[in-house]
Amino acid sequence: MEVKILSAKFDIKDAHKIEVAKEHGAYSTLDKLFSMTSAEVIEEVKSSGLRGRGGAGFPTGVKWSFLPKDTGKPVYLAVNSDESEPATFKDRYILVKDPHMMIEGIIICSYAIGSHDTYIYIRGEYTTQFKALQAAIEEAYEAGYLGDTVAGNNFKLNVTVHRGAGAYICGEETALLESIEGKKGQPRSKPPFPAVAGLYGCPTIINNVQTIASLPFILNSGADAYKAYGTEKSSGTHLFGISGHVEKPGMYELPLGLPLLEVIEKVAGGVLNGRKLKGIIPGGSSTPVLLPDEAKTVTLDYESMAAHKTMFGSGGIVVLDETVDIVELVKNLIDFYHHESCGQCTPCREGLGWMLKIVKKILSGKGKMDDVDLLRELCDNIEMKTVCVLSAACTMPVRSYLDKFRHEFEAYVTTEDFSAAEAKEE
């Protein structure tokens, strides 16, 4: 099942160093790149079917083509390395094990969109990853792959790493831009979209680490070679972070379109200690949960996830076994998103705090059945009433837990009510 495209050099000793990376093909696409026009590169990426690997899944080449022409303004590339979604840990492997693959991808993208300045926005907690990435960038400058003449060609490119300060919201593309500009990391209202008015008010493309790292293979082997993996509408491979109650948690590169349960059984070794499967979070904490029966017909691609009313997200698969207390899980989930709200929008700032108080009340044994109903109602009242989708990233999964595991919420209420009635009789 596993494929080695993005992860081809992960098991090679010192592959993060430029001399080893070059021995195994790093920067080998650049001669071909500079023999092509930027339009030809964009068309090749379009033809590959590559979609954004940060969670949204928007076609990468199409996104690039949205850039306005001849504005007289500089064009920027921003690489989103603010990997902060709980259960997501794919990008950090690229940054540590094969950073030159991403740098090569940055060169490809920058040439295609006509950008001479790239900013890599990396989460502040990624200390090891930042050091590895910065060292690789310095190596690339010394080798002539970055700077005034990229690989001896008449193309200038500078790359700057910008460290965040630990705010999940800065993974949202416009909050990321605000943070790079030195402002408070809060999302912008759209339109205008970043492709038109992004960093410093200039046309900007924002792509995820894995998206950018996929480009060298596409350019070197061609769009058809990339489309040989995956499905018609979800092509290529993906780095899946599988965690939770499985025998072999870890990061696996797999072609898109594989059956979800088969991957859990054959790749991740099945449910831990032979226990029963209770649910699966398919794409990071913000994605609605799947029940075991639902998971039987799910495949790992964007279309199948959408058909099952959940999302592919970032490919962070979390397996929940029968020991999981769903109400406790929901408390942790809401606590995280409430803490990470930037506070700009009232429904998110106040609403998520209200939801957290309700679920804590239920867990304490002081909740009523009305509280369960109110929690469900708040999901509908908060979702999509804000500038960005952080609030929805909380309410969508919470709604799924309330709808699919309502009996567990009710058990906290009915059990405590019954105990209180018994105590009163005594």
- What does the domain layout of the chain look like in residue ranges? 18-226, 237-321, 326-424
Please write the tens of the pLDDT for every residue from 144-199. 999 999 999 999 999 999 999 989 999 999 999 999 999 999 999 999 999 999 99
Instruction: Give the per-residue pLDDT at 166.
Output: 87
Please write the tens of the pLDDT for every residue from 284-326. 999 999 999 999 999 999 999 999 999 999 999 999 999 999 9
d(CA 68, CA 88): 33
Please write the tens of the pLDDT for every residue from 66-124. 999 989 999 999 999 999 999 999 999 999 999 999 999 999 999 999 999 999 999 99
Instruction: Give the per-residue pLDDT at 1.
Output: 81
**DSSP one-letter string for 39-107:** HHHHHHHHHHT-B-TTTT--BHHHHHHTSPSS-SS--EEEEEE---STT--SHHHHHHH-HHHHHHHHH
**Residue 421 pLDDT grade (very low, low, confident, very high; cuts 50, 70, 90):** very low
Instruction: Give the per-residue pLDDT at 55.
Output: 80
| CATH number, domain 326-424, options 2.40.110.20, 3.40.50.150, 2.60.120.380, 1.20.1440.230 | 1.20.1440.230
**DSSP one-letter string for 234-286:** SBSEEEEEEEESBSS-EEEEEETT-BHHHIIIIIS-SBGGGPPEEEEE-SSTT
What's the fold here for domain 18-226? Rossmann fold (3.40.50)
Q: Is the pLDDT of residue 425 over 70?
A: no
237-321 maps to which CATH number?
Answer: 3.10.20.600
d(CA 208, CA 229): 20
